[in-house]
Structure 1
Amino acid sequence: MAQARDHGGGVRSIEVPIPDNPLGHTLVYVVDTDRGPVLIDTGWDDPRSWTTLTDGLTACGTSVSEIHGIVITHHHPDHHGLSGAVREASGAWIAMHAADISVVRRTRSTRPETWLGYMAAKLTAAGAPEEHVAPLRTSGPRRLPGFSPALPDREIVPGELLDLPGRRLRAIWTPGHTPGHVCLHLEEAHPSQLPGHGRLFSGDHLLPEISPHIGLYEDPDDVTTADPLGDFLDSLERVARLGPAEVLPAHQYAFTDAPSRVRELLDHHEHRLTGLQSLLTTPLTPWQLAERMEWNRPWPDIPYSSRNIAVAEAEAHLRRLVKEGRAESVPGSDPVTYVAV
């Protein structure tokens, strides 16, 4: 049975499952407008997820054919995966921030083998051992999830109200988890009169119990050195200043007191940066640093794909330490190592 919940004020949510993922599900929000319901995110492209979404829409008193538009918080497949199927069934428009639209365009034009080669090179440069990198080089053609995402037809402009007749939904650019992640501020009185300023659809930016993965903005053609963790921390401050009465995230559950949650996350990342700096008393590669970081399980127990994510997170923290003048790369090291300053 689809799990649908009424949040009041013409907003409902559907728990759309994510196959084989500890997060369990994506919360897809259904927002009533004067031209029909609009979805915020859509869920993973999987038959069971599609059935859950369509059954959930029925439980909400509507249907997929009645969807007027789709607003995507960010391009990841557990949020954008079913957008194409919904558009095909309804004719709905799809809106996304320009930075993530660029990621979608690049993904659609990149062969999986090219991406695997790029990942192999990145992991080698990060100091990964050959036995970890080898499977990426030797694997045959395969279908990777999220490699045929729907191309959005509308661009979300930060700071502007979205075209949702009868609603006031403003886009807040919150890069970090992805370069084009947006939160969506519903500038309307809370239906239960909770104190604060409206409600915030926070995507993966602000979650009640976990910090979103902050890795690198992967772009084989981009030679600039982005600072995703710095972007994320700055974006958290921006969200705290909004002071929403309630946060409606894409995972877990709705919660209040966004400023306190933001402070917890800022403190968490500062504690982590300080801890990593203390590990860099001797030069370490990003891979070696990831091996020594605290995770939810010992490093030998972390699955293969999750190790790739862990290394990306280590690199994001290293970039922040370097930018803050707390660490530096060791000249001439190959693969590159970093040491505390």
Structure 2
Amino acid sequence: MKSRRRPYAEQRPQDLGGGVWSVPVPIPGNPLGYTLVYAVDSPKGPVLVDAGWNHPDAWQALSGGLSALGLDVSAVSGVVVTHFHPDHAGLAGQVRQASGAWIAMHENDAALVRIMNEHTADEHDDFQSDMLRRAGADPGETRRARAPRPTPPVPPDRELRDGDLVELPGRKLRALHTPGHTPGHICLHLEDADRLFTGDHVLPDITPHIGIYPFDRDDVDPLGDFLDSLDRVGELGPLDALPAHEWIFPDVAARAAQIRHHHEEKLVRLRALLAQRPAPLTIWEVAAMMTWNRPWDELSPVLKGMAAGEAAAHLRALEARGQVRRVAGVDPVRFQALDS
């Protein structure tokens, strides 16, 4: 099926009806192109769902887009962030400066934002280098695969938990904790209109990155969390989905089921690949064996690092299911298939 994705230059602010608007905000240098920021009407001023990347062009697009819809960024009463990534949380601080708005996100992501703000860029580089080394990357790959750290988002004023209502007088906007893409990712159910703001959790044409950081953690299972979260979204039924990227689409439950099936098939293929190898493999070796949108050798070093994070999450999910094991006492960490 041909993708309906269109470049940012073809996007326009839209009145979606029912007191909901969307503003496309560019992401400089990113193939996703833009983040869809939503505004929801409120007697105290509009509440934004996400804010966009912290960049002058993005700020101009957000403030100008709101103005084109008859809204004023200085009147925004709140920003609820679906997750801490910079294309969602980056401009929240500037919106707060312009309007005095509160900022809210899930408590798990709020904790990560505090950690990010407490550490320097050099400490971030050291963390990445050691993580890549333990995954099995050679020294040259370790240097090249480090991603530059974006400016950390500002800490939120309010922390949300699963089931909390966002402050939106006259309406019901409920947080649904959907971890996986980040530990504190939330979808937001506009219950009075049967619409679901899905952030990056459920997108119409692509699937979000599900990684594990550090790669060799054995105390969390982000892919397992993500699959469980897809089931929770599916239980809401065929709601209209308002995602943070690509386009608005109907029947979020059907799309959630498709994404779950995609990952289950990926897990089956990965288990089969490991079963064919007599010796345990590093995370980096496993990532090189997996199927990506381009051949492994054509991926940039930074994308190889992201692929390793996703490979690690799939290995951890298989480990949690008792289908693979990690070899004890080796560095870099290695995994091996267990007999079925």
Q: TM-score, normalised by structure 2?
A: 0.92
Q: Which runs of 5 or more structure 1 residues have no equivalent in the other structure?
A: 190-197
The answer on whether the counterparts of 1:200 and 1:244 sit within 8 Å (CA) in structure 2 is no
Equivalent position of 1:287 in the other structure: 284
Shift of 1:64: 1.0
Q: Which runs of 5 or more structure 2 residues have no equivalent in the other structure?
A: 1-8
Shift of 1:151: 1.2
Give the letter for the 1:295 counterpart: W
Q: Which aligned pairs between 1:245-324 and structure 2 lie closer than 5 A?
A: 245-281=239-275, 282=277, 283-324=280-321
Find the partner of 1:87 among 81, 91, 96. Answer: 96
Give the letter for the 1:239 counterpart: V
Shift of 1:330: 2.5
1:144 aligns with 2:138: no
Shift of 1:63: 1.2
Find the partner of 2:108 among 99, 102, 106. Answer: 99
Equivalent position of 2:3 in the other structure: none
Give the letter for the 1:203 counterpart: G
Deviations 1:121-157 (A, max 9, x none): 11111101111113579xxxx973133x111101112
- Aligned mates of 2:253, 2:65 — CA distance in 1: 32
Aligned residue for 2:98, secondary structure, equals: helix
Deviations 1:143-196 (A, max 9, x none): 73133x11110111211211110111011000000000000000113xxxxxxx
Find the partner of 1:27 among 25, 28, 36. Answer: 36
- Aligned mates of 2:46, 2:40 — CA distance in 1: 5
Q: Residues 162 and 258 of structure 1: is their aligned pair in 2 closer, same or farther, counting only changes over 3 Å?
A: same
Runs of 4+ in 1 over 2 A off after TM superposition: 134-137, 217-220, 330-334
Shift of 1:50: 0.6
The answer on whether the counterparts of 2:239 and 2:253 sit within 8 Å (CA) in structure 1 is no
1:163 aligns with 2:167: yes
Q: Residues 21 and 134 of structure 1: is their aligned pair in 2 closer, same or farther, counting only changes over 3 Å?
A: closer
The answer on whether the counterparts of 1:116 and 1:136 sit within 8 Å (CA) in structure 2 is no
Q: Residues 136 and 250 of structure 1: is their aligned pair in 2 closer, same or farther, counting only changes over 3 Å?
A: closer
- Aligned mates of 1:25, 1:127 — CA distance in 2: 34
The answer on whether the counterparts of 2:16 and 2:22 sit within 8 Å (CA) in structure 1 is yes
Q: Which aligned pairs between 1:109-120 and structure 2 lie closer than 5 A?
A: 109-120=118-129
- Aligned mates of 2:328, 2:103 — CA distance in 1: 46
Shift of 1:329: 1.4
- Aligned mates of 2:65, 2:76 — CA distance in 1: 13
1:211 aligns with 2:207: yes
- Aligned mates of 1:146, 1:210 — CA distance in 2: 26
- Aligned mates of 1:44, 1:219 — CA distance in 2: 26
Report the RMSD for the aligned CA atoms in angstroms: 1.9
Give the letter for the 1:201 counterpart: F
The answer on whether the counterparts of 2:175 and 2:186 sit within 8 Å (CA) in structure 1 is yes
Find the partner of 1:201 among 177, 187, 197. Answer: 197
Equivalent position of 1:229 in the other structure: 223
The answer on whether the counterparts of 1:93 and 1:152 sit within 8 Å (CA) in structure 2 is yes
- Aligned mates of 1:97, 1:213 — CA distance in 2: 19
- Aligned mates of 1:279, 1:143 — CA distance in 2: 32
1:328 aligns with 2:337: no
Shift of 1:217: 4.3
Shift of 1:218: 5.0
Find the partner of 1:129 among 134, 138, 152. Answer: 138
- Counting aligned pairs with the same residue, the percent is 50
The answer on whether the counterparts of 2:213 and 2:309 sit within 8 Å (CA) in structure 1 is no
| Residues matched between the structures, number | 326
Deviations 1:23-61 (A, max 9, x none): 110000011011111100000001111110011010110
Aligned residue for 1:3, secondary structure, equals: coil
Equivalent position of 2:4 in the other structure: none
Q: TM-score, normalised by structure 1?
A: 0.92
The answer on whether the counterparts of 2:283 and 2:312 sit within 8 Å (CA) in structure 1 is yes
- Aligned mates of 1:128, 1:113 — CA distance in 2: 20
Aligned residue for 1:280, secondary structure, equals: helix
1:176 aligns with 2:170: no
The answer on whether the counterparts of 2:221 and 2:317 sit within 8 Å (CA) in structure 1 is yes
Q: Residues 51 and 219 of structure 1: is their aligned pair in 2 closer, same or farther, counting only changes over 3 Å?
A: farther
- Aligned mates of 1:227, 1:146 — CA distance in 2: 27
- Aligned mates of 1:30, 1:83 — CA distance in 2: 13
Give the letter for the 1:227 counterpart: D
- Aligned mates of 2:236, 2:221 — CA distance in 1: 23
Equivalent position of 1:194 in the other structure: none
Which has the higher mean CA deviation after the structures are superposed, 206-215 or 125-134? 125-134
